[in-house]
């Protein structure tokens, strides 16, 4: 989707990649900041909602964490839309910006892991726009980085190779398949810290 | 971890429990240990919840990307 920064247009392509990463990070940070700000507004009026959001966090984290251990794919509330491949034909800076923004926001595209919802509920219950923005910017950055994997690899070799592209894709799928343990651990840790917050 | 796995496998073989899934049980034991550690550390220092959330954000970000 993002072209390869090699040859005479290298500088332009690197610029596009940076626009993409910045847009994804900023978009995610905006979503987190708005959620945190909404949380501060709502929790000021109804403080008891904080208690219920923590219970919800703990429950969701334990159930989905166990499902991850079982390699069970439970339904995650999400849109089914993915960024159309034809967008890549535009291939300019506005495309990189739009692609990054849509990807970073998260809720506009398909989400397969419950962690996104857990993060948003956490931003809401933390009721701090700055912390919410910072947390979600990590999500945006982490979501943007794998897209850069292929261009960065090719920039080292100075050429595009379809076979290597396929291999990179297979490698990434393999790594993702092994991420279940980290997903489960972080969800369980989330459950533990939510219950600790409940007892405070 | 290796030791725990060996012990669990030994027990399961001895008890003849055919439905034993070692990796699931080890994962579950490990996960509950982590939940317990998170509970204890967060009870002491609430700021540690942010570290956990930052980790979750990174894992969620990488998991949400289907292909490079």
pLDDT digits (tens, 9 = 90+) for B20-41: 456 667 777 777 777 777 777 7
CA separation, residue A165 to residues A11, A16, A28, A30, A154 (Å): 22, 20, 28, 33, 9
The pLDDT of residue A167 is 73
> Distance (Å, rounded) from C-alpha A151 to C-alpha A76?
30
Tell me the average confidence (pLDDT) per consecutive run of 10 residues in chain A, 200 residues long: 53 80 94 96 91 91 85 79 68 81 88 91 93 94 82 66 71 78 87 83
Could you tell me if B29 lies within 8 Å of chain A, comparing CB atoms?
no
Complex ipTM: 0.85
Could you tell me if A93 lies within 8 Å of chain B, comparing CB atoms?
no
Closest CA to A145 of A88, A83, A103: A103
Closest CA to A135 of A147, A117, A120: A120
The pLDDT of residue A120 is 94
Using the Cα atoms of residue A10, residue A13, residue A19 and residue A20 in order, give the sign of their dihedral: negative
Set of chain B residues whose Cβ sits within 8 Å of the Cβ of A112: 63-64, 66
The pLDDT of residue B16 is 43
Flag if B62 and A145 touch (Cβ within 8 Å).
yes
> Distance (Å, rounded) from C-alpha A49 to C-alpha A121?
11
Model-level pTM?
0.80
Of residues A124 and B1, which shows the higher confidence score? Answer: A124
Beta-carbon neighbour count of residue A139 at 10 Å?
31
Q: Chain B neighbours among A 171-200 (CB < 8 Å)?
A: 172-173, 176, 179, 181-193, 195-197, 199-200
The pLDDT of residue B17 is 42
> Distance (Å, rounded) from C-alpha A98 to C-alpha A108?
12
Nearest to B68 among A150, A191, A200 (CB): A150
> Distance (Å, rounded) from C-alpha A132 to C-alpha A43?
15
Exposure of A83 in the CB half-sphere (CA atoms within 13 A): 23
- pLDDT tens for A56-107 read 999 999 889 888 877 777 788 878 777 776 665 666 788 888 888 988 888 8
The pLDDT of residue B8 is 54
pLDDT band at residue B18 using 50, 70 and 90 as cut-offs: very low
Closest CA to A167 of A156, A155, A175: A175
> Distance (Å, rounded) from C-alpha A100 to C-alpha A148?
11
Query: Cβ neighbours of residue B25 under 8 Å, at least 6 residues apart?
Result: B8
Describe the crossing of helices B22-44 and B2-15 by its angle, rounded to 10 degrees. Answer: 130
């Amino acid at each position: 989707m993002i072209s390869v920064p090699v040859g005479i247009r290298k500088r332009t392509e690197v610029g596009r990649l940076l626009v993409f990463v910045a847009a994804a990070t900023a978009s995610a940070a905006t979503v987190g900041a708005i959620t945190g700000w909404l949380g501060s507004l709502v929790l000021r009026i109804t403080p008891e909602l904080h208690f219920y959001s923590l219970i919800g966090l703990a429950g969701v984290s334990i159930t989905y964490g166990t499902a991850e251990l079982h390699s069970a794919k439970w339904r995650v509330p999400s849109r089914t839309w993915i960024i159309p491949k034809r967008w890549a034909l535009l291939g300019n800076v506005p495309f990189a910006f739009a692609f990054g923004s849509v990807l970073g926001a998260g809720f506009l595209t398909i989400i397969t892991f419950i962690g996104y919802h857990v993060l948003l509920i956490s931003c809401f219950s933390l009721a701090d726009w700055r912390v919410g923005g910072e947390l979600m910017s990590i999500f945006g950055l982490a979501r943007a980085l794998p897209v850069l994997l292929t261009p960065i690899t090719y920039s080292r070799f100075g050429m595009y190779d379809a076979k290597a592209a396929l291999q990179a894709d297979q490698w990434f799928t393999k790594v993702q398949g092994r991420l279940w343990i980290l997903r489960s651990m972080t969800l369980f840790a989330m459950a533990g810290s939510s219950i600790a917050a409940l007892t405070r | 971890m290796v030791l725990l796995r060996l012990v669990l496998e030994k027990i399961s073989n001895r008890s003849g429990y055919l439905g034993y899934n070692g990796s699931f049980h080890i994962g579950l034991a490990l996960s509950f240990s982590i939940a317990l550690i998170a509970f204890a550390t967060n009870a002491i220092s609430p700021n540690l919840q942010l570290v956990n959330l930052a980790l979750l954000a990174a894992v969620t970000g990488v998991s949400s990307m289907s292909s490079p």
